[in-house]
Amino acid sequence: MTPEEFRAAGHVLVDWIADHRARVPDLPVAAQVRPGEVRDALPAHAPDQPESFADVLADLDRVVVPGVTQTQHPGFYGWFPSNASLASVLGDIASGGIGALGITWQSAPALTEVEQVVTDWLRDLCGLSPQWRGAIQDTASTACLVAMLAARERASDGSEHRGGLQALDAPLVAYTSPHAHSSVPKAVLLAGYGADNLRYVDVDPVTYAMDPEALRRAMAEDAAAGRVPAVVVAAVGTTGTTAMDPVRAIVDVAGEHGAWVHVDAAMAGSAMLLPEMRHLVDGVEGADSLAWNPHKWMGTILDTSLLYVRDVDHLVSVMSTTPSYLLASTDAEVVQYKDWGIPLGRRFRALKLWFHLRLDGVEAIRARLRRDLANARWFAEQVGAEPGWRVLAPVELQTVCVRHEPEGLDGDALDAHTLAWVEAVNATGRAFLGASRLDGRWMVRVSVGAEATEREDVEALWALLREVVAGPAA
Ligand SMILES: *Cc1c(COP(=O)(O)O)cnc(C)c1O
């Protein structure tokens, strides 16, 4: 494809994207396909000869769009807000267009330095002190794995450079909440701690936040038995209910054992942009690493996750590799992001954040987050005031956990009712919600915060929910 051919097709594609976004509210929220349907709609072999751009575009409409759950839809309340602001889409296009290779500072100095600038901008916007230095990771899952590796190496005094974990006398132990995201135990296991050395610490029965006294007991017990308390992952915004583990108390307890504290604020981290919400991360300055996802609620398109650490030298000592072909005379003066994480090559992801912040502006982003907090509170108030309905957990941010509990229904029958009505809501195509288990029973999570969701949409959702539970479908 020549630049001139790209120009012609690119204009058409940008128009298509703008039209697509404009019609998203009219599409069903949930993907409309059965397993295998998308594959079956496409040829089994790649074309030998070039096809027309019009044919490719037509397949986007015919095959791809119906095969996507429309997370940009105003009726999307599933999992978590997965916003893809159009300003950041432009940054993504620019990143692809420049086609930079990010393997070292030398390979694209601007790629490194724009990333330094935007991670510093966001650190300051979140009220974090300059002791933190950040890098973009693809996802919070990767960020957590990197943190678990850094913690492992600190607790084992650089065991990777000797016999590794296999030569340690005492096992390293990791601690987290049973409500932590599944990526946390995954990272602990992948980093080699072993399932036997992963402790799920008790939580408060009402708030679902980690109980720091239970953490203290668990760490003391391990230490007394000759094991090494190595790392605690504090979930700031758990997956199920957005519970807030108390960071300050966790940092204090972990400090008694010199354990690393990683704060997983993947979803809730966007709230740090709001000064009035920063009490939720009180004590974070004492943690060792912090990850959050602008690609969720804040709305910089995937894959834009931030990992901040306090001790960059330690991280680099764990991650660095310096093959001769990557050495350069400027090495002492520059940041080499390849030494801050797992991949060598990186995309120019910083442009997504740079475009998003510059084109939308921080005040508009903050206003949208505040709108969503108010919408979630409004919704929780309606549910709480309606007989037969219950809000099941504190509404810390924009997630409201609800259940419709008709008189006489409990146990498995109540579970069946819950799953039936959430499925009925999703089948309308007007809204999309997720079910999840809490205290052994199904409940429904209403995660407010799609960029397009206004108060009237939340009002429509509440009307729809009441309509569905009253109707024959439930
Ligand atoms: C979404 C989420 C994750 C995982 O995020 P990815 O970027 O998809 O890996 C981890 N932890 C929490 C608390 C989350 O909300």
The domain locations on the chain are 3-68, 94-360, 362-470
> For residue 228, what are the β-bridge partners?
172
CA–CA separation, 190 and 215 (whole Å): 23
Ligand 1 probe mutation, 264, 270, 301, most atoms within 8 A of CB: 264
In the reported structure, the alpha carbon of residue 28 is separated from the centroid of ligand 1 by a whole-number distance in angstroms of 25
- The upper half-sphere exposure of residue 134, i.e. CA atoms within 13 Å in the direction of its Cβ, equals 30
Pick the CATH number of 3-68 from 3.40.50.620, 3.90.79.10, 1.20.1340.10, 3.20.20.10: 1.20.1340.10
457, 75 contact by CB (below 8 A): yes
In the reported structure, the alpha carbon of residue 259 is separated from the centroid of ligand 1 by a whole-number distance in angstroms of 22
Ligand 1 probe mutation, 142, 148, 239, 300, most atoms within 8 A of CB: 239
Q: Which atom of ligand 1 is least distant from the CA of 141? A: 9
In the reported structure, the alpha carbon of residue 182 is separated from the centroid of ligand 1 by a whole-number distance in angstroms of 8
Beta carbon of 119 within 6 Å of any ligand 1 atom? no
In the reported structure, the alpha carbon of residue 263 is separated from the centroid of ligand 1 by a whole-number distance in angstroms of 12
Is the dihedral angle over the CA atoms 121, 122, 125, 126 positive or is it negative? negative
369, 375 contact by CB (below 8 A): no
Q: Per residue of the chain (474 residues), what is the pLDDT tens digit? A: 999 999 999 999 999 999 999 999 999 999 989 999 999 999 999 999 999 999 999 999 999 999 999 999 999 999 999 999 999 999 999 999 999 999 999 999 999 999 999 999 999 999 999 999 999 999 999 999 999 999 999 999 999 999 999 999 999 999 999 999 999 999 999 999 999 999 999 999 999 999 999 999 999 999 999 999 999 999 999 999 999 999 999 999 999 999 999 999 999 999 999 999 999 999 999 999 999 999 999 999 999 999 999 999 999 999 998 777 777 777 778 999 999 999 999 999 999 999 999 999 999 999 999 999 999 999 999 999 999 999 999 999 999 999 999 999 999 999 999 999 999 999 999 999 999 999 999 999 999 999 999 999 999 999 999 999 998 644
Biggest alpha carbon distance in the chain? Answer: 75
Return the CATH fold of 362-470.
Aspartate Aminotransferase, domain 1 (3.90.1150)
Confidence (pLDDT) at 53: 97
461, 431 contact by CB (below 8 A): yes
Beta carbon of 80 within 6 Å of any ligand 1 atom? yes
* Pairing outcome for strands 133-137 and 198-200: unpaired
Distances, alpha carbon 369 to alpha carbons 68, 270, 356, in Å: 25, 8, 15
Beta carbon of 199 within 6 Å of any ligand 1 atom? no
Beta carbon of 293 within 6 Å of any ligand 1 atom? yes
In the reported structure, the alpha carbon of residue 79 is separated from the centroid of ligand 1 by a whole-number distance in angstroms of 10
Q: Which atom of ligand 1 is least distant from the CA of 267? A: 15
Global confidence as pTM: 0.96
Output the six-digit token pair for 311. Answer: 């001790």
CA–CA separation, 149 and 155 (whole Å): 10
Looking at domain 94-360, its CATH class is alpha beta
Cα-atom radius of gyration of the chain, to the nearest Å?
24
Q: Which atom of ligand 1 is least distant from the CA of 296? A: 1
Q: Which atom of ligand 1 is least distant from the CA of 302? A: 7
Confidence (pLDDT) at 472: 66
Sheet holding 441-447, edge to edge: 389-391, 399-404, 441-447, 434-438
- The upper half-sphere exposure of residue 28, i.e. CA atoms within 13 Å in the direction of its Cβ, equals 13
Beta carbon of 465 within 6 Å of any ligand 1 atom? no
DSSP conformation letters of 137-185: ES-HHHHHHHHHHHHHHHHTTSGGGTTGGGG-SS-EEEEE-TTS-THHH
By C-alpha distance, which of 368, 140, 355 is closest to 274? 368
CA 161 to chain centre: 32
In the reported structure, the alpha carbon of residue 226 is separated from the centroid of ligand 1 by a whole-number distance in angstroms of 33
In the reported structure, the alpha carbon of residue 236 is separated from the centroid of ligand 1 by a whole-number distance in angstroms of 11
Confidence (pLDDT) at 327: 74
